[in-house]
């Protein structure tokens, strides 16, 4: 389900079909949106489109994104900024972008994270080489309050059963994601990506890991996982919901 949106900006050179749609979900991250968008502009993959969905932010992140697109929109096949009329949550924001996407590959990027320049190029190459895989994911450098590496393990349904280890920053075949109806609206936001990988696994769909550090994940106290998902009562609710949706999971408190 997606809510009502207004289109705040559309530009781009429109000279070819994009190879990748980058979907940026934005909510109260005005301080970070510029760095995020700059990292997309710096991609070595040329034929890209970018869709930013402002989920009714309370700050001026949407205005900053609009100014950025007026300056740099010509770099993309298409650059679009949408604003939700009411805050509808992460799944809705991503699904709004999915509805508008025109590329065969779809990359999810939250507004506080960033990409290294070869990210989209390397992930797209991995999917071109592995036609059976539905998505490709990189090794991710976590920085900020809790530095480290993420996405270091290969795809495994058995490993997924005990907890999520793949971030949302992945390149997904658009048609397959639409087949599933996009991201599910969870009772408590934060595990939409985990639920998606579980739905992939249930259908026997697989992902391919690209063993290169290609993206940066910002860890800070204002992040969704810190402010919403990791509160004990809500985490327990999420675990119960995930087990209900995917009975093969063995996840327990503290293992996500």
Q: What is the pLDDT of residues 64-75, one digit of tens each?
A: 999 999 999 999
Question: What pLDDT, on the 0 to 100 scale, is given for residue 55?
Answer: 96
The span from the CA of 13 to the CA of 157, in Å, is: 41
Question: What pLDDT, on the 0 to 100 scale, is given for residue 256?
Answer: 46
pTM over 0.95: no
- Closest alpha carbon to 61 in 81, 41, 90: 81
Question: What pLDDT, on the 0 to 100 scale, is given for residue 222?
Answer: 62
Question: What pLDDT, on the 0 to 100 scale, is given for residue 20?
Answer: 98
The span from the CA of 174 to the CA of 154, in Å, is: 22
Burial of 191 (0-12, 13-18, 19+ CB in 10 A): buried
Q: Can you list the residues of the chain whose pLDDT is less than 50?
A: 1, 255-256
Query: Which residues, in sequence order, are bridge partners of residue 10?
Result: 80
Question: What pLDDT, on the 0 to 100 scale, is given for residue 226?
Answer: 54
| Angle, vertex CA 39, rays to CA 37 and CA 40, nearest 5 | 65
């Amino acid at each position: 389900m997606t809510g009502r949106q207004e289109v705040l900006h559309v530009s781009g050179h429109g000279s070819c079909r994009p190879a990748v749609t980058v979907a940026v979900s934005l909510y109260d991250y005005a301080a970070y949106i510029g760095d995020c968008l700059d990292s997309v502009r710096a991609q070595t993959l040329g034929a890209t489109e970018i869709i930013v969905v402002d989920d009714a932010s309370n700050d001026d992140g949407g205005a900053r994104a609009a100014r950025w697109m007026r300056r740099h929109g010509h770099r993309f096949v298409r650059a679009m900024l949408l604003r939700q009329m009411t805050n509808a949550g992460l799944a809705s924001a991503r699904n709004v972008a999915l509805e508008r996407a025109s590329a065969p590959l779809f990359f999810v990027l939250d507004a506080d994270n960033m990409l290294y320049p070869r990210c989209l190029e390397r992930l797209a190459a991995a999917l071109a080489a592995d036609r059976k895989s539905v998505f490709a994911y990189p090794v991710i450098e976590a920085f900020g309050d809790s530095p480290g590496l993420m996405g270091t393990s290969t795809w495994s349904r058995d490993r997924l059963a005990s907890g999520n280890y793949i971030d949302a920053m992945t390149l997904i075949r658009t048609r397959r994601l639409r087949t599933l109806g996009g991201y599910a609206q969870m009772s408590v936001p934060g595990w939409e990506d985990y639920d998606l990988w579980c739905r992939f696994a249930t259908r026997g769909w697989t992902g391919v890991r690209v063993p290169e550090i290609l993206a940066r994940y910002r860890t800070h106290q204002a992040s969704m996982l810190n402010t919403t998902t990791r509160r004990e009562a809500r985490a327990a609710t999420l675990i119960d919901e995930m087990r209900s949706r995917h009975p093969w999971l063995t996840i327990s408190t503290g293992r996500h």
